[in-house]
Amino acid sequence: MSNADQSPLGLFERYLSVWVALCIGAGVVLGLVLPGVFAAIASVEYASVNLVVAVFIWVMIYPMMVNVDFASLKDVGRKPKGLCITLVINWLIKPFTMAALGVLFFNYLFAGWVDPQSAQEYIAGMILLGVAPCTAMVFVWSQLVRGDANYTLVQVSINDIIMVFAFAPIAAFLLGVTDIVVPWETLLLSVILYVVFPLAAGYVTRKSLDKSGDHEQIARFTERVKPFSVMGLLATVVLLFGFQAQTIVEKPSVIALIAAPLLVQSYGIFAVAYVWGYLWRVPFTTAAPAALIGTSNFFELAVAVAISLFGLNSGAALATVVGVLVEVPVMLSLVAFANRTRHWFVDGRAAVYQ
């Protein structure tokens, strides 16, 4: 690809895993040096929602929701195969495979290294990651494989609308199946706070910016607020690892243990979606983004709900943050694989030889 084709991934996004790793280190050090400060921050909560973390997460999520275009739903019938792959992977396969892998790894394969209570919390965090399809970074992944940008917008918009209604029931069901008791009130409050409200705010912002209909104002606005989204994420990571500092120092291998099933899930889900698109003769510009959308996670939402349900110091919150650490390098490797294999698809071969 040319430099122009690679440009969507800016400095923050390209090295997001590096920034996350640095913030993990900073959080652990600060948590050990200033435990009283983190205890004070942890006490600022209402209805099981930590208000400081809630502000950071809102800063993360709101800019993403501005990209959701409800008007794009009129194109829902265009290229139905790609949309079918996305929806089946995101809502009928991915949450359940994530839960199954969590149980397999932490109740069986890693049972000798993790105590039962922590194992259940790690499984819960993985489940929350699996039930939250990505909203923002998929636009970057789609652009890096030169996918159909308008169709990617359709896929993301429909996923977000489904998420409003499906996230809480599926999460509650899977958490219940794994014997984790979940207060429905807290789960529903989390969905309202971190999906419904930001989605509504994004819609209002988009309508006010897009009066001319040319989307230029929206593009400029999202470009300006994008750094705040990343900073909100990094600040949340510092806080979460500050709260978890003692546990991490005592059990440093826990991050690797959590990352293992997440890696299996990511590469496995991509393989299913990508091969499905190939066998179904879906164009590369639709099939590749569909597979990437199915693979990536809305980790901001997962982090927020894990904190609300299980607390700032929980293994569930830690698992969702490890998901942030794993996601970017995994997705970049899958983008590279998709670009190298685009000739497998009919339209991909045409693009290669142009």
Give me the residue label for tokens 């800016």.
10
**pLDDT tens-digit readout, 134-146:** 776 777 788 788 8
Cα 250 from chain centre: 28
Q: 236 pLDDT exceeds 60? A: yes
Distance CA 254, CA 247 (A): 9
**Is the per-residue pLDDT at 97 higher than 50?**
yes
Q: Higher pLDDT residue, 86 or 240? A: 86
Sign of the torsion angle spanned by Cα atoms 155, 98, 330, 53: positive
The predicted structure's pLDDT at residue 291: 93
Q: What is the DSSP letter of 49?
A: E
- The predicted pLDDT at position 119 comes to 94
Q: Is the pLDDT of residue 63 over 60?
A: yes
Q: Residue 13 belongs to a domain with what CATH number? A: 1.20.1530.20
Q: Is 224 exposed, middle or buried (0-12, 13-18, 19+ CB in 10 A)?
A: exposed
| pLDDT tens digits for range 154-209 | 888 888 888 888 998 999 999 988 877 767 777 777 778 877 888 888 888 888 88
Our CA angle for 66, 63, 75, nearest 5°, is: 30
Instruction: Over range 273-294, report the average pLDDT.
Output: 93
Residue 5 contacts by C-beta under 8 Å, 6 or more apart in sequence? 143, 144, 146
Beta strands in 137-240 (DSSP E): none
Residue 193, token pair as written in the block: 């706070």
Q: Which domain holds residue 147?
A: 3-353
pLDDT of residue 332: 83
Phi-psi region of 213 (alpha: psi -120 to 50; beta: other; left: phi over 0): left
pLDDT value at 101 more than 60: yes
pLDDT band at 226 (very low <50, low <70, confident <90, very high): confident
Whole-prediction pTM = 0.78
> Which helix (H) or strand (E) segment is 46 a member of?
strand 45-46
186 CB-near residues (< 8 Å, 6+ apart): 47, 48, 308, 309
Q: Which of 6-20, 93-107, 212-226 is least confident?
A: 6-20
Separation CA 191–CA 203 (nearest Å): 17
Residue 297: strand, helix, or coil: strand
What tokens appear for 306 in the block? Answer: 């894990």
How confident is residue 297, by pLDDT bands cut at 50, 70 and 90? confident
Spatial distance between the Cα atoms of 15 and 11, rounded to a whole number of angstroms: 6
Res 353: pLDDT:
42
DSSP state of 133: B
d(C-alpha 53, C-alpha 33), whole Å: 20
Between 192 and 277, the more confident residue is: 277
* Number of domains within the chain: 1
Q: How far, CA to CA in Å, does 206 sit from each of 72, 217, 221?
A: 13, 9, 9
Coil, strand or helix: which one is 354? coil
The whole-angstrom separation of Cα 2 and Cα 4 is 5
pLDDT winner (highest mean) among 55-64, 99-108, 112-121, 322-331: 99-108
Higher pLDDT residue, 32 or 226? 32
Indicate the range of 79-93, 221-235, 261-275, 291-305 predicted with least confidence. 221-235
CB-based contact 319:122 (threshold 8 Å): yes
Per-position DSSP letters for 268-296, written without gaps between them: HHHHHHHHHHHHTT--HHHHHHHHHHHH-
- The Cβ of residue 21 has, within 10 Å, a number of other Cβ atoms equal to 13
- Facing residues of 50 across strands? 45
* pLDDT of 45: 77
Report d(CA 288, CA 227) in Å as an integer.
Answer: 27
pLDDT digits (tens, 9 = 90+) for 19-31: 878 888 899 999 9
